Amino acid sequence: MKTKIHWFAIALCTLSTHLFAQETQDEIIATWYTGEAKVEIYQEGERYIGNPINPAGERVTDIEVLNLEYDQGKWTGKIYARKRDKLFDVECQIKGEVLHLEVDAGFRSRELQWIQAN
């Protein structure tokens, strides 16, 4: 009987750890205000995609602003810079309701902060 309880406790701990990790991984799924526009981030398979939101509040799927993967507490991938019409490497982390983005543009890097929109 003790063995069954022991295995049940291990299974419960493993399951709760997995569920907590999934919740943390998915916390990027939201609408974010960039300072100029809103971007909706959603999950598609293993990737996290960000599309702008038009004035009518609809996702513009033909423009992909972010394409990210989650690994070890951060999201990494590509960000589209509209003004330069280029893709750059980006690393993202969430602290509270702020999405911190570190954009690597070759010899320069830039830090951005997006606020979670309600």
Per-residue pLDDT of 43-60, as tens digits, reads: 999 999 999 999 999 999
Report the predicted TM-score, pTM, of the whole model to 2 decimal places: 0.77
- The answer to whether residue 21 scores a pLDDT higher than 50 is no
Name which of 60, 115, 70, 114 is nearest 91 in CA terms.
70
Q: Which pLDDT score, from 0 to 100, does residue 23 have?
A: 52
- The answer to whether residue 88 scores a pLDDT higher than 60 is yes
Over range 8-35, report the average pLDDT.
Answer: 64
Report long-range pairs for 38-44 (Cβ below 8 Å, ≥24 apart): 38/117, 39/65, 39/66, 39/114, 41/66, 41/68
* Placement of tokens 């701990």 in the chain: 13
The CATH class, in words, for 2-116 is mainly beta
Predicted confidence band of residue 39 (pLDDT cuts 50, 70, 90): very high
